[in-house]
């Protein structure tokens, strides 16, 4: 066993979950004789003592928010430990590799990174050149994630069920994705490939999370139904061993339609809710994003989910260059009409299309008229809506939902406020009666962390 602390694994933000993107690399390193330290700056302070001991620090940045935090962590690491080799890994590290390597990173790891990371640590220890950073897309021999040194589940997102907060764990049955939605950060890295994690590994991880107090499991696969037989087998085995434990999944609208025969069984097995990236009800927008579904498909998916006894939680990219003001108001009408106000975290009404370096959208002629400069140190390309009202509305809605979240406002009240803003932007009188929130109403289960980027 190498000296403890020769490697420091840093999580920055993983959607409010205990960071699997640190737990898995830790397990790979331990299997090869290392004794990594871990730090999650989303729930605990930066630990200068851990930083000072590390020969290699690997910073996990699976999303945009994590990358922005990770750069700050790298600066603090460098100040404390100038000789430390700083590596970034995760989807947003790959997309922004050029900037990172030119500023704060000694290396960037891409794809299925764990074997690369072990090699990197060993090479640094021997004083040899480090891996070149090319995306590694070979199937790995997965150990059970190592969670012993991570902060307690109590520090992370909980399941809110009928007003009770329950501890939630986070696992993955697969990584990567076989789809190529143009706005997603996965396709530029995985190019349509996905990798199944053996069921025994996933279930062993579930066992340790349940032993830590979890009564709910989030399957964090980019799309749980990419491998439907594998997914259903996982759900069956989880329910057989832990019939009291519920779970949630993320899957595409088209998979809800294609695998409709599986939905009633998923509900029976304890699926508390399904997250689906609806993104828009405009077929024009959906075509530009290459989502693989239509407005009609969304309506059918919602019908199928309800018929099966599943709660559908749609997510949205509410502002794109092609989303008209009428489209935006139509989205709100749909949410209200279909009784989905409590199914949509209000932050979703403010989500603006993010175009990072390497995005497949940059290849689209339809994107070019709206595209501005790359803001390299903020990791996105600016874009401007052809209708100035939409950019103003985005600014107003973003401020409103952030303030509402800060004061813990009822989703019904926030929805009404956003709807009034949209009507005002269109020069229309408010078109809906102001809903009256009923404090005692039964709300669908949800995780307490609403952010998605």
Q: What is the pLDDT of residue 341?
A: 95
> Count of domains in the chain?
2
Residues 120 and 211 in one domain: no
Residues 119 and 194 in one domain: no
Would 452 be classed as within a structural domain?
Answer: no
Residues 307 and 234 in one domain: yes
CATH for 219: 3.80.30.20
Q: How far apart are the first and last CA of the chain?
A: 37
Residues 76 and 194 in one domain: no
Q: What is the pLDDT of residue 13?
A: 95
Q: What is the pLDDT of residue 124?
A: 95
Q: Quick: pLDDT tens for 393-432.
A: 999 999 999 999 999 999 999 999 999 999 999 999 886 6
Q: What is the pLDDT of residue 132?
A: 72
Residues 110 and 173 in one domain: no
Q: What is the pLDDT of residue 421?
A: 97
Domain enclosing residue 232, as ranges? 157-447
Residues 197 and 346 in one domain: yes
- Domain stop point among 126, 147, 170: 126
- Domain stop point among 78, 104, 126: 126
Query: How would you write the chain as a 3-class SS string?
Result: CCCCCCEEEEECCCCCCCCHHHHHHHHHHHHCCCCCEEEECCCCCCCHHHHHHCCEEEEECCCHHHHHHHHHHHHHHHHHCCCCEEEEECHHHHHCHHHHHHHCCCEEECECCHHHHHHHHHHHHHCCCCCCCCCECCCCCCCCCCCCCCCCHHHCCEEEECCEEEEEEEECCEEECCCCCCCCCCHHHHCCCEEECCHHHHHHHHHHHHHCCCCEEEECCCCHHHCHHHHHHHHHHHHHHCCCCEEEEECCHHHHHHCHHHHHHHHHCCEEEEEEEEECCCHHHHHHHCCCCCHHHHHHHHHHHHHHCCCEEEEECCECCCCCHHHHHHHHHHHHHCCCHHHCCHHHHHCECCCCCCCHHHHCCCCHHHEEEEECCCCEEEECCCCHHHHHHHHHHHHHHHHHHHCCCCHHHHHHHHHHHHHHHCCCCCCCCCCCCCCCCCCCCEECCCCCC
Would 138 be classed as within a structural domain?
Answer: no
- Domain stop point among 126, 146, 166: 126
Residues of the chain where predicted confidence (pLDDT) is lower than 50? none
Would 297 be classed as within a structural domain?
Answer: yes
Residues 207 and 321 in one domain: yes
**pTM as predicted:** 0.95
CATH for 41: 3.40.50.280
Residues 97 and 244 in one domain: no
Q: Quick: pLDDT tens for 273-331.
A: 999 999 999 999 999 999 999 999 999 999 999 999 999 999 999 999 999 999 999 99
Residues 313 and 208 in one domain: yes
| CA–CA gap between residue 175 and residue 90 (Å, rounded) | 12
Would 134 be classed as within a structural domain?
Answer: no
Residues 117 and 248 in one domain: no
Q: What is the pLDDT of residue 131?
A: 73
Residues 219 and 77 in one domain: no
Q: What is the pLDDT of residue 240?
A: 98
Residues 66 and 189 in one domain: no
């Amino acid at each position: 066993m190498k000296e403890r602390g020769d490697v420091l694994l840093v999580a920055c933000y993983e959607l409010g979950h205990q960071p699997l993107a640190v737990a898995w690399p830790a397990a790979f390193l331990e299997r090869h004789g290392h004794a990594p330290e871990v730090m999650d700056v989303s729930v605990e302070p930066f630990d200068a003592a851990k930083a000072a001991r590390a020969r290699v620090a690997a910073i996990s940045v699976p999303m945009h928010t994590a990358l922005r935090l990770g750069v700050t962590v790298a600066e603090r690491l460098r100040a404390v430990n100038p000789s430390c080799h700083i590596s970034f890994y995760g989807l947003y590290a790959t997309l922004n590799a050029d900037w990172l390597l030119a500023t704060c990173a000694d290396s960037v790891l891409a794809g299925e990174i764990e074997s690369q990371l072990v090699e990197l640590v060993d090479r640094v220890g021997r004083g040899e050149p480090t891996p070149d950073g090319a995306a590694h897309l070979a199937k790995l021999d997965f150990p059970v994630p190592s969670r012993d040194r991570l902060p307690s589940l109590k520090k992370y997102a909980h399941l809110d069920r009928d007003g009770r907060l329950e501890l939630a764990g986070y696992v993955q049955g697969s990584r990567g994705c076989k789809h190529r939605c143009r706005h997603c950060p996965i396709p530029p890295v995985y190019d349509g490939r996905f990798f199944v994690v053996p069921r025994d590994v996933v279930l062993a991880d579930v066992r340790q999370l349940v032993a830590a107090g979890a009564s709910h499991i989030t399957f964090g696969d980019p799309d749980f139904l990419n491998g439907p037989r594998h997914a259903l087998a996982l759900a069956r085995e989880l329910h057989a061993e832990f019939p009291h434990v519920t779970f949630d999944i993320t899957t595409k609208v088209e998979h809800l339609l294609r695998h409709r025969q599986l939905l009633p069984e998923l509900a029976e097995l304890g699926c508390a809710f399904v997250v689906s990236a609806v993104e828009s009800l405009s077929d024009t927008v959906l075509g530009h994003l290459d989502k693989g579904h239509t407005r009609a498909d969304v309506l059918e998916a919602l019908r199928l989910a309800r018929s099966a006894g599943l709660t559908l939680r749609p997510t949205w990219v509410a502002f794109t260059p092609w989303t008209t003001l009428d489209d935006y108001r139509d989205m709100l009408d749909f949410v209200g009409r279909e009784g989905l106000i409590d199914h949509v975290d209000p932050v979703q009404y403010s989500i603006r299309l993010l175009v990072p370096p390497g995005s497949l959208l940059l290849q689209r002629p339809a994107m070019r008229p709206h595209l501005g400069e790359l803001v390299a140190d903020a990791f996105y390309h600016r874009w401007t809506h052809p209708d100035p009202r939409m950019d103003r509305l985005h600014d107003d809605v973003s401020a409103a939902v952030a303030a509402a979240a800060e004061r813990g406002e009822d989703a019904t009240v926030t929805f009404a406020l956003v709807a009034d803003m949209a009507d005002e932007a269109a020069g229309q009188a408010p078109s809906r009666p102001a809903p009256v929130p009923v404090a005692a109403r039964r709300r669908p289960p949800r995780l307490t962390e609403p952010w998605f980027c």
